[in-house]
A and B are shown apart, each in its own frame.
Chain A
Amino acid sequence: MMETWVFFSLLVVILWGVVGLFQKLSTNYVSAEAAFVWLSVGYFLLLPAMFYYAGLKLPLETIPGWLRVAAGTANGLGALALFAAMRSGGKASIVVPLTALYPLVTVLLAPVLFNEALTLRGVAGAVLSVVAIILLSE
């Protein structure tokens, strides 16, 4: 019997995987800007369900407001750039794995910013990320 958290994790993989397909499909028909606006509308449609589900117990109040806005804005600009990549001819099968490598920067900067130890695993992951970016950038 599979543990339920494994089921939900796999569901995440499927849902977010499908999102990559829809991102490419949407930019086949509209501009990156329009694709982002419609994505946001879709997200807002889901907000009531999210709040109902979370019972408003999301730990948002523990995060300073400006950080929330700054983090969300950075995320939004990243998504917009991804749409632009697809709109300018990037394949979903390349842009999605490529952009998913963003933890690379976090792992490398964490020792500087947060005094965290740089692990061998982290270094290996970072090196392989660079290799992957070079291979995918053909």
Chain B
Amino acid sequence: MKTNRLWLWYSLLTIVFWSVWALLSKVASDAIGSATLQVLFTLGSTLVMVWLLLKLRFRVPHNRRGVTYGLLNGVFAGLGGIAFFEALRRGGPASLVVPLTSLYPLITVVLAIVVLRERLNGRQRAGVVVAMVALFLLTT
């Protein structure tokens, strides 16, 4: 185990935080569920942002590309949220919209391979496929 596994622990930490998020949102309301999550994100992430701004003493690294991609993250995530609402508003049943939209990692994988030239070995490729099947089962 010579390789740096820090990324893995951070990824698992993400799973922990996001499950807390999902559970709290579920407590909040079963009826509105995931549709509201996007808005919750904006409001709730304010605290985290303020904490980080204080930590950075308001000197946020502003490499031009870093800023551009960072802003695009927020805008695209938000637009995705609006599209999510819209799918539900136009009669899409949550029982179909949720599993369908949870397949978004597939697009990331394709883009990462094409644009970022990331390479996956056989085991990792199998992992992606199993993850997608698992997600489908978990969300339906």
A residues in contact (CB < 8 Å) with B: 3-6, 8-26, 28-31, 33-47, 49-50, 53-54, 58-60, 62-64, 67-82, 84-86, 88-107, 109-110, 113-114, 121-122, 124-126, 128-129, 131-138
B residues in contact (CB < 8 Å) with A: 4, 6-8, 10-29, 32, 36-37, 39-49, 52-53, 55-56, 60-63, 65-67, 69-88, 90-92, 96-97, 100-113, 115-116, 118, 120-121, 123-124, 126-128, 130-140
A43 vs B75: C-alpha distance when bound (angstroms) = 5
A78 vs B41: C-alpha distance when bound (angstroms) = 11
The one of B7, B70, B71, B84 in contact with A12, judged by C-beta atoms closer than 8 angstroms, is B84
Contacts of B139 in A (CB 8 A): 103
Query: Cβ of B28 and Cβ of A20 under 8 Å apart?
Result: no
The one of B21, B73, B81 in contact with A39, judged by C-beta atoms closer than 8 angstroms, is B73
Given contacts A37-B49, A94-B128, 4 further A-B contacts (CB under 8 A): A22-B73, A50-B39, A72-B40, A132-B131
Contacts of B111 in A (CB 8 A): 17-18, 20-21, 92
**Known contacts A54-B85, A102-B14; A131/B130 CB under 8 A:** yes
A85 vs B87: C-alpha distance when bound (angstroms) = 31
Q: List 28 A-B contacts (CB under 8 A).
A: A8-B84, A8-B90, A9-B92, A11-B80, A11-B87, A12-B104, A20-B111, A23-B73, A29-B66, A33-B60, A34-B60, A38-B70, A46-B79, A59-B29, A60-B36, A71-B44, A72-B44, A74-B24, A77-B17, A88-B7, A93-B113, A93-B120, A96-B105, A99-B15, A101-B131, A103-B22, A125-B136, A132-B131
Query: Cβ of A90 and Cβ of B87 under 8 Å apart?
Result: no
Nearest first, the 5 closest Cβ-Cβ pairs linking A and B are: A72-B44, A17-B107, A42-B74, A38-B70, A5-B92
Tell me what chain A mostly uses at the interface: helix, strand, loop, or mixed.
helix
Contacts of A75 in B (CB 8 A): 17-18, 21, 37, 40-41, 44-45
The one of A26, A31, A82, A135 in contact with B69, judged by C-beta atoms closer than 8 angstroms, is A26
Across the two chains, which residue of chain B brings its CB closest to A137?
Answer: B8
A79 vs B41: C-alpha distance when bound (angstroms) = 10
Query: Cβ of B14 and Cβ of A81 under 8 Å apart?
Result: yes
Contacts of A91 in B (CB 8 A): 112, 116, 118, 120
A35 vs B96: C-alpha distance when bound (angstroms) = 32
